Chain A
Amino acid sequence: MTNLKGDVASFLLIVLGLLSVSAGAQVRAPVPSVDDLYAEAIAAKRAGDLTTAIARYNAILVLDPKLAAAHNNLGLLFFQSNEYLLAIQSFEAGLRVDPKMTSSLVPLGTAYFLVGQFAKARDLLDRASRLNPSDEAAQLYHGRALFSLGQLEAGAAVVQKLLRKSPRNVEALYTLGQMYMKLAQGTLRELEVQAPDSYLTNLISGQVQESTENYDGALDQYRKALEKEPKFRGAHYNVGNIYWLEGKWELAIKELKLELIADPYNCLAQWKIANSLLNLSQDRDEAIGRVTKALEICPNLAQAHLDFGRLLAAKGDLQQAVAQYRLVVTMNPEESSVHVLLVNAYRKLGRATEADAEAKIVREMNARRSARESKP
């Protein structure tokens, strides 16, 4: 939270700078001493001396209480000093003088959020968001205010909307993650109340833990679910999948095979057995049988096509491997890994031109990815 406040403060300082210019324009003409006070306030702020800056703005407002921008600047300084109640007073005083000074709405709403007055925060930030739909801070804190008021779905909807516009907004991603966790926890609690001894309680708890990569915790819950209800579909798959995620392929194979006894049409289990065998370099023929079966059930399972290709390549059937890789390219053209496998296959086939073409695709994809990652 400390850093979120820091980010908001950084944003607000920019606003402060802009508003300060207009404040300067307003104070300069009628009362000359306001100019001096304003200059001192600016210098103090630049030097990090917020106490002096606050004192100078207070002095300005004694001389001219109708300077709305000075109220706003003072509010921002209080905000930066973590004095949120004083900030609220200043912002509201400024808005009383000039109700059209809507730039105060976001810091005021955020300050209300930070002192726990979520309903006021929600209303102010909702208004600010409507006035300026591109204001990401307004939307983020509007979502958070809704979330804090228990309006989880509404809060999530606001943050989702923000993320559609700014998918790399890490604060929004973090907030949405928190919301989903809260929603999941609420659902889980309700399940526990309704059916405390049900395997479903363990199952959902396992899924929550799996989603946070707490594999040991998830495994424990999935095992408990399995003990309570050994015959439900997915019981062994869940356990086997955790082993697969942890790279414990022999254990994964054992559980996934048990799952297939209960559910022979689980194409993911078939594929993951094949993938585990591939990782262990064991029984290539069984792996090919498994992946073939997986693709009979789920012909569009791209990962299975990819592993089928790898298995065929390992057996030396490079032409057929290339055919499988090409299918994957059709299904998922932006997946660079299959192009790497194509480079290797073409190289071994002695098809240098095609290998070079695939290598060029990989390099271009990497360059695009690097460009995306290096954006601030």
Chain B
Amino acid sequence: MTRRDLLRCAAAQALSSALSGDTRKIPLFRDITAGSGVNFVNQSSPTAEKYLPESMTGGVAIFDYDGDGWLDLFFVNGAKLSSPMAPGQQPDKSDPRFWNRLYRNNRNGTFTDVTAEAGLRGSGYGMGVAAGDYNNSGRPSLLVTNLDGCILYRNNGDGTFTDLTQKAGLLSSGWCAGASFFDFNRDGHLDLVVTRYLSWSFSKNQWCGERKEGYRAYCHPDKFPAVEHLLYKNNGDGTFTNFGAGAGFKGMFGKGLGVSIEDFNADGWPDIAIANDSVAQQLFINRNGTAFEEAGLALGLAYDGDGRAFAGMGIDSADLTNTGRPDIFIDALANQKYALFRNRNGSFDYESGESGLGAISASHSGWGAKFADMDNDGWKDLVIAQGHVMDNIALTQPWIKYLEPLAMLGNRQGRFEDISSQSGKPFSIPLAARGLAVGDLNNDGCLDLVINCNNSPALILKNEGATGNHWIGIDTVGTTSNREGIGACVSIRTASGLRQRAYVSAGGSYLSSSSKRVHFGLGQDRTIAELEIVWPSGIVQKMKDVPGDQRLTITESRR
């Protein structure tokens, strides 16, 4: 963080407050893509055949691949499709336009494309990405989900990656979508969950929509059967075992997209929440690290307040009311409402109306979504990538928009307020936004946004408006636990008494992977009176009087 950054943050904060006529802090964002060196353009290859994946790619990861303390970017790309695809024909990624892309952070607001030297061009039609240090090497690897299986790229620690999918036992099939690394049995090695969307292939594609020029539409997921998600157990030797069948995943069919990991019932074991499209949402409760029990319906998460299924796409979980329990957000398509499920001691109440989300979201369609304290006031806000799935939706439902601006919803002590119009120009530009990830790209204490837009250029939005408040960024380093401290639960109490809680995870959103660094806004407090980390190993670590406005690395203590 430079002095210029600090001054700009403060000035923007003052301007934002003045413009809004409001003393509340409004985060202000600026699109810095043009000068950043990131020129990624998602290529989804739209065809006259209206192949469903065309409208659904792709994800983005914010992660520190080279361990320099500065967050880097990875974008997932589609591939070239023919119209129609011949029997047996595969998507073609050979043209550089279709490569996935890795951008190294130059530590000065710009990035350098290092895809080729890193060996991350990719293959297949890309959907999503998860970052995680599965081999405890100190450098996060990447799991890229494709239309036909997943690819594991091991981070070699020298700026390069190696495709170890087969060797690691991760060969898979089917339309893989969201993924997240987590340590479900708390053995110190990151396991892996992968959502799968539909039993779909190019040969199974159907004609949907009216049979007249321009009216062919992407099919509703009801047209295709659901599939089982994938759960892989890390063997601790660089390989994985497909563990789904033995762990309660068998027969649990979904149409999965986003996935979020949290300890929803506070029993110390990480659970899995999966956003499913137009079927019941799923909540896999971890039974002591040996198996999962799907309990979405029993615990109130499966359906909306009307008791109906909705088009779950992006998902995230966080403690929105600072009560110590993680709530769950799942976005949906227009004509539905974004769903907010409040955590009531491990079961959930649908509270879209009560939270203000229902009135805000009825005509919008959401994808990537993250809870993050954008204004550093101590309450986690909500940012949503939006846009309808059907590019010709206006022909049949003119009041619904294919392209929509991003949404910024300010958290007012548990109730959301739409502050998009005050959050800067990027929140007024219609997009086909899909993957969204959050992280502090310039280490200035303001969380930034990166968005992968379907068949259009990516966006990097710099947060310039929240530095009036104080903050802390915490990097966890596990020793007994997994190296990244994924699954650690961090709680703080600031000097003025505000309590907050966060769970270390890179998951959530839509097909994307955010910075795993825990970020707390501290409001006007300059210090944290008490900080506690409960590590996945069970080790509890406490600190007192921790100064704010710093990035702090906490290494897991020995027992």
Q: Which residues on A are within 8 Å of B, measured CB to CB?
A: 1-4, 174, 212-217, 246-250, 278-281, 306, 310, 336-341, 343-344, 347, 355-356, 359, 362-363, 366, 370, 373-374
Contacts and interface: CB of A to CB of B under 8 A. Distances in A.
A215 B299 CA distance: 36
A215 B397 contact: yes
A279 B399 contact: no
Contacts of A249: 359, 362
Contacts of B280: 366
B307 interface: yes
Interface string B340-362: 00000001000101100011001
Given A281-B354, A337-B307, A341-B307, A216 B398 contact: yes
B300 A347 contact: yes
Main secondary structure, interface of A, reads helix
Contacts of A250: 359
25 contacts: A1-B211, A1-B212, A174-B210, A174-B211, A213-B397, A214-B399, A215-B397, A215-B398, A246-B363, A246-B399, A247-B337, A247-B358, A247-B359, A248-B362, A248-B363, A279-B362, A281-B353, A337-B307, A337-B308, A340-B302, A343-B298, A347-B300, A359-B297, A363-B297, A370-B226
Given A250-B359, A281-B353, A337-B307, A214 B398 contact: yes
Nearest to A342: B307
B357 to A, nearest CB: 10
Most buried by A among B280, B307, B358: B307
Interface string B279-311: 110000000000000000111101101111000
Contact of A3 (B211, B298, B300, B347): B211
B358 A281 contact: yes
B307 A340 contact: yes
B396 A247 contact: no
Contacts of B308: 337, 340
B222 interface: yes
Nearest to A343: B297
B302 A280 contact: no
A347 B358 CA distance: 24
B544 interface: no
Most buried by A among B212, B303, B362, B399: B399
Contacts of B297: 340, 343, 359, 362-363
Interface of B: 207, 210-212, 222-223, 225-226, 253, 279-280, 297-300, 302-303, 305-308, 335, 337, 347, 351, 353-354, 358-359, 362-363, 396-399
A355 B307 contact: no
Contacts of A355: 298
B222 to A, nearest CB: 5
B362 A246 contact: yes
A248 B396 CA distance: 19
Contacts of B303: 337, 340
Contacts of B363: 246-248
Contacts of A279: 337, 353, 358-359, 362
A310 B307 CA distance: 10
Nearest to A277: B353
A347 B298 contact: yes
B130 to A, nearest CB: 28
A275 to B, nearest CB: 9
B307 A3 contact: no
Given A216-B398, A281-B351, A337-B308, 12 more contacts: A1-B212, A214-B396, A246-B362, A248-B362, A250-B359, A280-B353, A340-B308, A341-B307, A343-B300, A347-B347, A355-B298, A366-B280
A362 B253 CA distance: 15
B359 A215 contact: no
Contact of A247 (B226, B279, B362): B362
A216 B279 CA distance: 29
Most buried by A among B211, B223, B347, B396: B211
Contacts of A4: 211
